[in-house]
Amino acid sequence: MEHQNRVSGRNWLQRLKDESWEAELLVSVASIFAIFKAFILLNWLVDYFIDQLVPDQYFYGYMICFLGYLAFGMLGSFFVIHFGLRAYWIGLVGLNSVFPDYSIEDSAYSRIYTEKMSNKLPKLPATIDSLDEICSVIFSAAFTLLLIYLYGGVLSTIYLLLFNVLKDSVPTTVLLIPLFLFLAIYVVMTFWSLLANIKKFKQNNLIQTWYYHIVIWGSKIFYGPLYKYSLQTSMVFGSNFKKKKALVKAVLFMFIFGMALGIFQIFQSNVLYLLRIDRKIDKTRVESNYYHDNNKEADFLLAPEIQTEIVTDNAIKLFIPLFTHETDIMKRTCDLKSLKNNEDADVSREKRWQANLDCFSATLKIRLNKKPVNVAFLKADHPETNQFGLTGFLKLTNTPEGVHNLIITKKVSSELERTWEIPFFYSPK
């Protein structure tokens, strides 16, 4: 009976292996759809970091998002390639069931040509087995990468947000302790990995034992509660490296392809703003995002905007986005929290609204062709991006027709100041 159960178990496992390609295709299609949708989530996270983080922390937000784009790029490439190869594998299996091998006697070509070509080309069964191995390896590697990134990305984001919540009540050095510990552990793991894999130390029992313990504890920290499954995949790869070098090389190629996809997605987002916040603005270039006509499908504004490049109205409608970290600094500078609320609730609320507007407006300096102009601002939400900011109007009734330059300076603090120059052509109706 026990023997029959073991045989039955093996038959069930073999049947599962034989039929797993159906589930693989379904999961691949669902994963491809979900991963490319995940790029939208990453774009939102980039904009959230730009809005919430102070510029001193932009680099950390950039690294989280940059690694996210690379990870999802690799995952996307893995599943796209897997889907293509598995579909090709199905075609070869069907072809092999009809034509088991190259036929010399029934060939439409000459015997000499057919023999030479059949000797040159791989046999169908060999190609089918090779593709099946590659598809299975891709599948496991992709999900391992997904587990590692999701844990690391979520943990990093939570840490960064907690840092900002606690930075006013807890010393910065204390808040940075977890980050330094992570870096120290990573350095130790890297150093010990290099040391333990030097040929002369591979038989050293002490070094290899310490290597084992360091990897186990480091994996618990970096891979989270599912660390055993991540290690399982990497160990299967590593322990079979000499036997299946071709498969490992194929996975490395897919990593490179995935990095290319991730980098392409990076240039479709605002993530580089997190890295180049202090770069000088090229005054010889017209930026398309300065004009509302070009921002009708925008998700997030990084700069002020006017209605269009060619202004035919007698006024300019200006919108200046204010990021959350900027308004937080402005409120502290203006000490808005100290406003007394002893008056009637409605009167107090109106005074608070006006105090906010006066505080925000005081950080802005508007010039037309280098001449200061007064603009009466009002608080507003952008109609497309729903961002908070200030909007105002500039009269152009005495402005001559031609090219003009609108200069906007936003000085939030002595360390946080930006200037934009928006060219436009005034052609009154």
* Residue 176, token pair as written in the block: 């940075």
Answer yes or no: do 57 and 113 share one domain: yes
Q: Is residue 297 located within the same domain as residue 372?
A: yes
Query: Does 200 have pLDDT greater than 50?
Result: yes
Per-residue model confidence as pLDDT tens digits over 257-269: 888 888 888 888 8
User: Domain of 313?
Assistant: 280-426
Total count of domains within the chain? 2
Buried b (16+ CB within 10 A) or exposed e, 169-190: eeeeeebeeeeeebeeeeeebe
CA–CA separation, 271 vs 413, rounded Å? 24
- 318 and 196 co-located in one domain: no
Residue 149 and residue 78: Cα distance in Å, rounded? 15
Q: What is the reported pTM?
A: 0.74
**264 and 310 fall within a common domain:** no
250 plus 353 within the same structural domain:
no
Q: Which residues of 173-228 form beta strands (DSSP E)?
A: none
Residue 288: DSSP 8-state? G
pLDDT of residue 20: 62
112 pLDDT more than 80: yes
pLDDT in tens, 328-362: 889 888 877 666 555 555 557 788 888 889 999 99
Give yes or no: residues 21 and 115 share one domain.
Answer: yes
H/E run at residue 278: none
* CATH (domain of 365): 2.60.40
The token duo for 177 is 């302790």
- Whether residues 285 and 140 share a domain: the answer is no
pLDDT by residue (tens digit) across 147-177? 777 777 778 778 877 877 787 778 877 877 8
Whether residues 118 and 16 fall in one domain: yes
Q: Do residue 315 and residue 379 come from a single domain?
A: yes
Same domain assignment for residues 24 and 129: yes
pLDDT for residue 321 is more than 90: yes
Confidence at residue 3, expressed as pLDDT on a 0 to 100 scale = 46
222 plus 88 within the same structural domain: yes
**Tokens read off for 264:** 């392409």
Q: Point out the domain boundary residue: 221, 256, 274.
A: 274
Residue with tokens 């190259």: 102
Regarding whether 254 and 131 lie in a shared domain, the answer is yes
Distance CA 354, CA 225 (A): 51
DSSP assignment, residue 305?
B
Answer with the one of 213, 247, 274 that is the final residue of a domain: 274
Round to whole Å and give the CA distance between 253 and 78: 10
End residue of a domain, out of 274, 309, 324? 274
Q: Is 281 helix (H, G, I), strand (E, B) or coil?
A: coil
Phi first, then psi: what are they for 389, rounded to 5°? -175, -165
| CA gap 264, 190 in Å, rounded | 29
Measure Cα distances from 22 to 6, 77, 83, 138 in Å.
26, 20, 11, 15
Task: Quote the tokens at residue 51.
Answer: 């809005």
Q: CA torsion 368→371→376→377, rounded to 10°?
A: 60
Q: Can you name the residues that pair with 368 across neighbouring β-strands?
A: 371, 406
Secondary structure (DSSP) of 218-235: HHHHHHGGGHHHHHHHHH
Pair 262, 72: CB distance under 8 Å:
yes
Q: What integer best gives the mean pLDDT of the chain?
A: 81
Closest CA to 68 of 44, 33, 52: 44
